[in-house]
Structure 1
Amino acid sequence: MKAGEQLVPIGLEPKQIPATTLVPGQKVQLVHVPAQDTTDTGKTSDGTVPRTIDGRVVRASGAAPGTGIVVVDVATAVADGPTAAAWEAAGTLRLILAAADGN
């Protein structure tokens, strides 16, 4: 990890991560998605785009037998670590791959 980063362990079900194998150094975004009881329009209930946190894969486990859960260690900015952990705990987090050129 680099200075100014926190390591956030994230346990994700298969539907919450890409099918592509995650590798160390890969840039990802952590996306806050609405809870199940809200509308699924790609926007939050107030009409804004979902919040995201930029991160970098440090390590990803294989899928756990029986559950398929993958634990991904993601490095985030120190200010974003607690937010990412809260999203993961609430089950409102999805992980997406960032564009290869960083855009």
Structure 2
Amino acid sequence: MAIKTKPLNKIQATIGLSLLLFAIMVGVAVFSDDGVMTVFNFNDDLEKLKQGNASLVQENKGLQKEIEALKKDPLAVERVAREKLNLVRPGETVYRIVPHPDKP
């Protein structure tokens, strides 16, 4: 028993071909290198960059305050010289406490 099929008319063939091409276009749009999935990945990267920028803005504000303090406040200059450069005033004696090594 052979199954008889009707040949497709022009409208049905055109609709079928159109649906096939549409499905291919959607697949390419979603899964290609420049597709929708890539856009979602770019959005994630954008959020990470925005967070990084926000932290850098805060760091820059802190550094700007430190710069202003160093320009105007001599005590701030002295603090930086003592803490970061290990400088002392003339005539000061520096005492260093060295922990005693534990004896076995």
- TM-score normalised per structure 2: 0.19
Rg comparison, structure with higher value:
2
Task: Flag the structure with higher strand content.
Answer: 1
Task: Flag the structure with higher helix content.
Answer: 2
- TM-score normalised per structure 1: 0.19
